[in-house]
Structure formats: structure tokens, C-alpha cells
Structure 1
Amino acid sequence: MYLEMGKDELAKQFEENLLDTNRGYNYYVDWSNISGYDKYSIEIHAMDVLINCKEEDFYCKFRELLEKLPNVIEVFPYLFALAKNDRVQVIKNGELKIIGTEIDSENFETFNFNGKRLKENFCEEVLGYYNFFCNMGLKDLFQNLLEKSVQDYIVGVLVGLDSNGRKNRGGTAFELACEPMIREICERHNITVLTQKTFKSVNCISSNDVIANRKADFILINENETKLMNIEVNFFNGGGSKPEEIINSYIQRQDALSTAGISFCLLTDGNCWKGTTNQLKVGLNGLKYLMNFNLAKKGMLEEAIIRELC
């Protein structure tokens, strides 16, 4: 019975049975995100004409490129690593504002990257985009850094941008790893499992303003729809997350949930917890249910679920 175990022994069991990693092959690059540029294949290949272009020829070729293929300006956001959501918004109907010499100055420039919106005063527009190209460093990129292919460069940019999604993929991977275990336990006890839902979406409770809009990894509802449990699942690697901050934030969550009569369990793992015995004891004292994957799998999670929902 893990729930009857002393805090010192439980902390020891926790530290001795941590997962080394939750990173599979799909953690490092989500290749489905390396897309979107293919609809500009003609424009992208046409931009190859600017690679290694001499100074005296660059503006003329740039102007000719925009004249023949106005949509080529929609490729620009791919060249300076604009994040995906911002890139889609700017290309569709948004604007990119860039300040001048002082951050609080009203002297800023506005750029639109929708090729269909090139105005009639074409010469002025082209000069504006050319200045943008120069000031953003893209002219130097084409003249001195690129050697063969704009498309290869864009693929590299997108792979680099995708690294920003690794933290989310790490969390999602651990949720997916824990979900079968949670569902198996709940099926044995006729408990309903909801994933990634807000508390206000659960009809059988009247959530207060403090928790109504919070999203839960897992919400468990007993057979009579009279008791609920929130299970949060997280995997923390070292180097960024601080155990003290993690524990404190989840103690606050537990306290907020308790005001609505909802029990709470934190299922967490990762090398962030190595050598944190004292902080684990704080967590074990402050949180009613704190466990890692190994403890949960060996029966601690089912003990907690039975105690709260059965």
C-alpha cells in the first residue's frame, strides 16, 4: 500500500525509479510541420536567380522577380524564420511592423506579405520590399551565404523552428504513455475519463470562477457522477524546470480544486527530480497524491483513484 508508506520511504522510491527519457524518434522533428512552402515551389525556385547575384545586378533582378511573380513576397516570411502562426497570419491578411531607431518612436514601417495586394504604385512598393530585404539581412544571405538552393535553406529554417515544439511534444508523449494505464484502471471501476477538457465543460459539477476555464490533462468522473479527480501529467528534464516552482504551482492548483470538491493527483517524472529529496518531501506533504510513472504503474495510482472515486 503506497499510500500508507512513510514520506521518507516514498521519496526514496520516487527518486530511485525515475524514467531516463520519454523522447522517441518523433520528439526531435515533427516532419508534418515541415510543410506549407510547397505551394510556393515556383516562386521559391525562381528566387534562386538571386543567389550569388552581383551588387550591380541585384536590384534589377529583384524588381523583375516581383514584377513577374508578385506572390514571391509571400515567401519572404519563410526566409527570416517567422513562427508558423505569425507567418500564416501575416501572409493571409496581417501586417508586420518594424520599429525605427527608438522603440517608443512612431517612426516604424509596415509590411504586408500578401502578393495579391501589391498596389498600383509598383515602383514604390518594390523599393520598399527591397529595403526590407536589405535591412533584414536577406540580401546578404543571397549574395554571400546561400550557394545552390533557396528551398533547401527554407527546409532548414523550418526544421529549426520546429525545435520550439519539442517541449510540447515531450509533454504530449508522456500523456500518451500514461493514458492507457489510466484508462485501464478506470475501466475496472466504471470511471469515465475525459482528456484535455476544461472544468466548466463537465456538466456534473458547478465549477467556480477560479477553475472554470482551466484545462485538465485528465478528468475522472465516478459512476454516479458525484466525485471527480483531476490528474495532471508532466515530464520534466533538468536545466530549466525548478522542482520548488513545480511543486508550489501544483499545490495551488490542488487548493483551488478542493474548493469545488475535486481531488487532485500529480503524475510527474524526469531527471529534473534527481537529487531533490527535500523538495519531494515538501511535495509529498503538500500534495495528497504525488507519484512518478513507476509508482503509478505498480499500483499507487489505482490506490488513489479507489480512495477518491470508489
Structure 2
Amino acid sequence: MRNFDQWLSEMRPSINEYNFYVNFEKVYANVDSMKVELNILNSLVGSKDIEQDFREILKRYPETLRCIPTLLAVRQHEIYAQDEEGAFLYDFSRMNYSVEQYIAFMKKTGLLSLIGEHIINNLVDYCLGIETGLDSNARKNRGGHQMERLVEVYLKKAGLEYYKEMYLTQIEQTWGVDLSAISAEGTSTKRWDFVVKTDQRIYLIETNFYSSGGSKLNETSRSYKMIAEEAKSIPDTEFVWITDGGGWKSARRNLHETFDVLEHLYNIADLERGIFNSIFV
């Protein structure tokens, strides 16, 4: 019998990879894609008559407009702005207002002052900083896939036949198995992180990592406990849950209940001990 308290104590606070914090390759690529236009706009740095100089640039190089959203740390090419003079939806992929209106935009957002008063020295370096900040906002998305990548490493090490992100209907169609017991009689469109197929069984695998607590953990634990109980009625099919994270320490009660009924509940330490080499038959 496994000891729940000991198993829970093995949960780790983080699985952040080195590129979790900033994906610099992406940052450099984004800046490189507009480096020519940024260098054209660099001629405005310290300009004595920036409005006129910017007017001339827009007439000769209208493509420089596409850099403007990044200067404001905005991803989309359309920006909405309004004041007492009216409401405008500026398009920076193609000019949809007059040059004078775009000059008004630059002035009212503070960009003309930022550039013309020499507050910054180089727009390329400035955009590198902005792109770094914007990329850090993507950490949540990167974090959501880290556990999947980690589990996949151990699936590969074990030499298993596995499939990623399969829907219930795909599993039923591929191997002719009836999963209605865990699909709410065919109404669920659940997608499994991994599916392992051996000569004797199909293993449905879910993975997640929770660095912090919250109500979602209790809901997840209860949901997976129900799936584990429902899966027992399906011949030659097993449910496997791989989870980790310090957040579980604040939701230990519900996790303990699931631990007691789910045979295949594992953490990263279990993977490191080679559990995949013994559970799949």
C-alpha cells in the first residue's frame, strides 16, 4: 500500500523550464520582422520638428505604421481610442484615416514626445524591451504545456505506443471500444492528453500541474475520482492521472479521497522511479 502523506510530500513547487520566463528566440524574431521600419522611425529620435518629420515618413514609408502598436505594447493591428474630438478605430496594417489623424494619435498617446524628446535612444532596443515584457505575459500558456512535455519524455523513454490529444470519439472509432460510461452517454467531447495502447489494454491519461491552490483543484479531484469509478465498468480500459504541484497541499482532503480509489494516480517522482515501465501491460 502506498502512503498518501509520503506521496504528497514529494510534490514539487515548480516545473518551470529555462525558457518558461522569456522565449528570447521569439522576441528576437518579432523585432527582426520590423527592424527596417523601426530604423526608419529612428530618424525621428530627437527631431526638432517631429510632426513634420513624421508626416514625411508616412508619405514616403507608410509601411512604418505597422510598428506603432508594438511601441504601445499592443499585439493587434487595430487600436481604439476616443476623446472629446471623437472615437476612432485606427488600422495600422493599412491607413484608414488621414496622415493628420495618425499624427494626432501619435501625439495624444505620448509617442511623439517619447521619440522626439530623446527619452529613448533607439527604437529597436526599445522594442526588444517591449517584446520581452509581452512575451512574459505568455507564461501561463507555456506553463500549461510543461507538464504534458514532461510526461511525454517518460512515455518516450519507456518505448510506449502513445497518442496525443485524442477525443473520446476518436478512441472509440480507432479501437472499437465503448466509452459511453465516461462520456455521459456520448454527450461529452472530452479530449485526453495521452492515450497509450498496448496489446491488452487502452490507457486514458490526464496530466496537470498546480503550483498554487484554489477551488479548481477540488473540482478536478472530484471529477477524476468519478471518472476512475466509471472507467472500472469498461473492459480493458484504464484511467491514469499524473499530477503534481505544491497547490495540492491546500486541497489534500479531496486528493486523498481520489488517491484511495484511483489505482493509477502518480506524480513526477513516480515517473522518475520508472512507473511507466511497470503499469502498462
Quick one: which amino acid aligns to residue 31 of structure 1? F
- Whether 1:211 and 2:188 are equivalent positions in the alignment is yes
Offset from partner CA, 1:218-241 (integer Å, 9 cap, x none): 1122325xx433222222223xx4
Distance 1:72 1:221 in 2: 53
By how many angstroms is 1:254 displaced?
6.0
Distance change (3 Å), C-alpha of 1:25 and 1:296: closer
Which moves more between the two structures, 172-181 or 273-282? 273-282
Tell me how far 1:66 sits from its aligned partner.
0.4
CA distance in structure 2 between the partners assigned to 1:251 and 1:186 by the alignment: 32
Whether 1:81 and 2:57 are equivalent positions in the alignment is no
Residue 255 of structure 2: SS of its match in structure 1?
helix
- Which residues of 2 match residues 235-254 of structure 1 at below 5 A? 235-238=209-212, 241-242=213-214, 244-252=215-223
Counterpart selection for 2:17 from 19, 24, 34? 24
Normalised to the residue count of structure 2, the TM-score between the two structures is 0.79
Secondary structure, aligned partner of 1:29: coil
Distance 1:156 1:172 in 2: 25
SS in 2 for 1:36: helix
> Which has the bigger relative contact order, CA under 8 A and spacing at least 6?
1
Shift of 1:162: 1.0
Structure 1 partner of 2:206: 232
Distance 2:203 2:255 in 1: 22
| Residue segments in structure 1 that go unaligned for 5+ positions in a row | 91-95
Show the counterpart of 1:158.
131
Residue aligned with 2:50, SS: helix
Q: Deviations over 1:67-111 (max 9, x none)?
A: 11110001112111223xxx3xx3xxxxx2525469xxxx64222
Q: Is the 8 A contact 1:50 1:62 kept in 2?
A: yes
Contact 2:65 2:92 in 1 (8 A): yes
Partner amino acid, structure 2, of 1:172: H
Conserved? CA contact 2:69–2:79, under 8 Å: no
The answer to whether 1:42 aligns with 2:40 is no
- Tell me the alpha carbon deviations over residues 121-143 of structure 1, each in whole angstroms, 9 at most, x when there is no partner: xxx61112122223333223324
Change (3 A) 1:136 1:182: same
- Pairwise CA RMSD: 3.2
* TM-score, normalised with respect to structure 1: 0.72
CA pair 131-266 structure 1, distance change in 2 beyond 3 A: farther
The match for 2:241 among 266, 288, 291 is: 266
Distance in 2 (alpha carbons) for counterparts of 1:157 and 1:286: 49
Partner of 2:61: 69
SS at match of 2:138: helix
Superposed CA offset, 1:42-76 (max 9, x none): 2201212322334xx22111101101111000111
| Percent identity of equivalent pairs | 23
Instruction: Report if the CA contact (8 A) 2:114-2:120 is conserved.
Output: no
SS at match of 2:98: helix
Say if 1:48 and 1:150, in contact at 8 Å, map to a contact too: yes
For the 8 Å contact 1:210–1:256, the answer to whether it is kept is no
Q: Give unpaired runs (5+ residues) of structure 2.
A: none
Question: In structure 1, the residue corresponding to 2:137 is in which secondary structure?
Answer: helix
Q: In the TM superposition, what is the alpha-carbon distance from 1:175 to its structure 2 partner?
A: 2.3
Tell me which amino acid in the other structure corresponds to 1:251: R
Q: Report the count of equivalent residues.
A: 267
